[in-house]
Amino acid sequence: MFLRSDHGQEQAGGTATLSFGRGAYVPTVLSPFDKLRTGIAQIDWAPDLGARIGSADWWRGAATCAALITATCFLSPGFDRPILGDVAPAMSGSEWDEARAQSIAPLAWGAATGRHMAANDLVAPLAQQPERPRQDLTTTLGQGDSFARMLERAGVSKTDSAEVTSLVSNAVALDDIKPGTRIDMTLGRRPDRTVARPLEQLAFRAKFDLKLSVSRTGNALSMTRQPIAIDHTPMRIQGLVGSSLYRSARAAGAPARAVEAYIKAIASRISIGGDVRSADTFDIIIEQARAATGEVQLGSLMFAGLDQGRKKVQLVKWGSEGREQWFEANGVGERRGAMGMPVAGRLTSNFGIRIHPILHTARMHKGLDIAAAYGSPIYAAMDGVVALAGRNGGYGNFVKLIHGGGMATGYGHMSRIAVRPGTRVARGQVIGYVGSTGMSTGPHLHYELWKNGVAINPRSVSFTTMAQLSGATLKAFKARVASLMSVRPGGR
Ligand SMILES: [Zn+2]
């Protein structure tokens, strides 16, 4: 049917005369037989029996179905009568041997297939098969493997292996060689089969920027270092946010870990859900090491930028290894949107004189009250050390943190405390959960801030001022920003 219609189309499209002829087509009167045929063709014989149940079409479909089933039942030979067939008899004797010789049996099962021949004058028994003069092989250092063990496994003698290991350990700490490193080696000719082959040559990449090779000259092994040039130009990726910041950045080639770090950094300044528009441009700079041999290693995020037209967010990672913080490119320190609010909630009572809700007397309120759902996590406002963690009179379950610069913070009325006295906490770490312990009328956090032992209004202190850069540090920071900004997008 397809063939026929395809053919018809070809003719209609392929020859102009035919399509012109169609234009002059005059409908002829159909014979009753043709009418019946088109009528039957138009009927949908197999409608969907799951739809419009009970309609005329459905009944007709059900009738078709029943008719087909009935016809099948009538055509069947019956369930109790077996259908007779022809089965070849089992092979035996020479016929079976012939068939078996041509089959392939797994070696593990003995593999007795194939035609066997009797030994004759043309067949000479082989006492010892010849050995290859040299053997080139590649081994891989496994997880938790030792370098010497790996060499011995590959067939290197104990003395050679010890010599190579001591040579290599002069250039690189053996523990620093990454598991999965491939080692190419060549083993030479041995005097007889009872001893291991001598190591002729060995080469591998010990580090991202160093290749080592050991080779034999005469009787001694010597090592050569081949440093690999590494280019440390960071990779910069820019692009439109589009429908999803994460997906667009990933599509632009940023690794998942860097994009996560980027979103975390940006979220500390603006709300990702609310403030980021699809027309905004993201700007990501990632540490990158490119070896002269072509390999690329991507490191951590160095710069997180978001250009919103009217507003620009530019954050630069700065600080000593492990204690890095995000600074704004203009030298102002890290600032997080909800910082100073250690819990996400509603400010219900401010710092200052107020009528106490339980005591009904005018009293100094030395902190902020933030109402939040029972059990909401409470975060440390800054890095610090836990000075107190336990019950403390009207404060209920109370945590006091000591920070640098004579600052300290207190968190009261917790339902549960998540830290112990003396432990270090990082900014943003959960230290407890909102509750209503102590003198409290409902679940809320009482948050206090002390400067040199005096309670001050937490809202008066912007945490940014504490991490500002100055002097030589600021100069170095500015130089870093300038060098980062000079990186060309694409960075390849
Ligand atoms: Zn309070």
How far, in Å, from the CA of 426 to the mean position of ligand 1? Answer: 24
Structure tokens belonging to residue 316: 């630069």
Interval between CA 349 and ligand 1 midpoint (Å): 7
Token pair for 141 = 């250092």
- CA 267 to centroid of ligand 1, rounded, Å: 29
Ligand 1 center–CA 366 separation, angstroms: 7
| 135-227 and 230-335+463-492 share one fold | yes
Does 400 score more than 90 pLDDT? yes
What pLDDT sits at residue 87? 85
> Of 181, 483, 197, 188, nearest to 318 (Cα)?
483
Separation of 409 CA from ligand 1 center, angstroms?
13
Match domain 135-227 to its CATH number in 3.10.450.350, 3.40.920.10, 3.40.605.10, 3.20.130.10.
3.10.450.350
Match 């290991």 to its residue by tokens: 165
Kindly give the distance from the C-alpha atom of residue 447 to the centroid of ligand 1, in angstroms, as a whole number: 7
Q: What spacing in Å lies between the alpha carbon of 351 and ligand 1's midpoint? A: 9
Average pLDDT of the segment spanning 59-71:
93
SS (H, E, C) the chain: CHHHHHHHHHHHHHCHHHHHHHHCCCCCCCCHHHHHHHHHHHCCCCCCCCCCCCCHHHHHHHHHHHHHHHHHHHHCCCCCCCCCCCCCCCCCHHHHHHHHHCCCCCHHHCCCCCCCCCCCCCCCCCCCCCCCCCEEEEEECCCCCCHHHHHHHCCCCHHHHHHHHHHHHHHCCHHHCCCCCEEEEEECCCCCCCCCCCEEEEEEEEECCEEEEEEEECCEEEEEEEECCEECCCEEEEEECCCCHHHHHHHCCCCHHHHHHHHHHHHCCCCHHHHCCCCCEEEEEEEEEEECCCCEEEEEEEEEEEECCCCEEEEEEECCCCCCEEEECCCCCCCCCCCCCCCCCEEEECCEEEECCCCCCEEEECEEEEECCCCCEEECCCCEEEEEEEECHHHCEEEEEECCCCEEEEEEEEEEECCCCCCEECCCCEEEEEECCCCCCCCEEEEEEEECCEEECHHHCCHHHHHCCCHHHHHHHHHHHHHHHCCCECCC
Instruction: Name residues whose C-beta falls within 8 Å of residue 423's C-beta, 6 or more positions apart in sequence.
Output: 385, 386
For residue 268, report the distance from its CA to the centre of ligand 1, in Å.
Answer: 27
Closest CA to 235 of 324, 315, 303, 328: 303
Distance 368 CA to ligand 1 centre (A): 6
The region of weakest confidence among 145-149, 236-240, 350-354, 461-465 is 461-465
Interval between CA 336 and ligand 1 midpoint (Å): 23
pLDDT: which is higher, 136 or 194: 136
User: Is 50 exceeded by the pLDDT of residue 4?
Assistant: no
Instruction: Please state, for a pLDDT cut of 90, what percent of the chain lies above it.
Output: 19
Instruction: Check whether 465 has a pLDDT greater than 70.
Output: no
pLDDT at 322: 67
Is 367 in contact with 375 (CB distance < 8 Å)?
Answer: no
Domain residue spans of the chain: 135-227, 230-335+463-492, 346-461
Q: Per-residue pLDDT for 7 more than 90?
A: no
Specify the pLDDT at position 14.
40
Q: Does domain 230-335+463-492 have CATH number 3.30.70.260?
A: no
Structure tokens at 154: 């590959």
Residue 226 in tokens? 């081949």
C-alpha atoms less than 13 angstroms from C-alpha of 391 in its C-beta half-sphere:
4
pLDDT band of 2, cuts 50, 70, 90: very low
CATH of domain 346-461: 2.70.70.10
pLDDT for 415 equals: 93
Work out the average pLDDT over 246-259.
Answer: 90
Higher per-residue confidence, 487 vs 82: 487
Calculate the average pLDDT of the chain: 81
Tell me how far the alpha carbon of residue 193 lies from the centroid of ligand 1, in angstroms: 86
Higher-confidence position of 111 and 336: 111
Beta bridge partners of 23: none
What's the rounded Cα separation, in Å, for the pair 222 and 213? 8
Tell me the CA–centroid distance for residue 419 and ligand 1, in Å.
21
Mean pLDDT of 393-422: 90
Q: How far is the CA of 461 from the centre of ligand 1 (A)?
A: 18
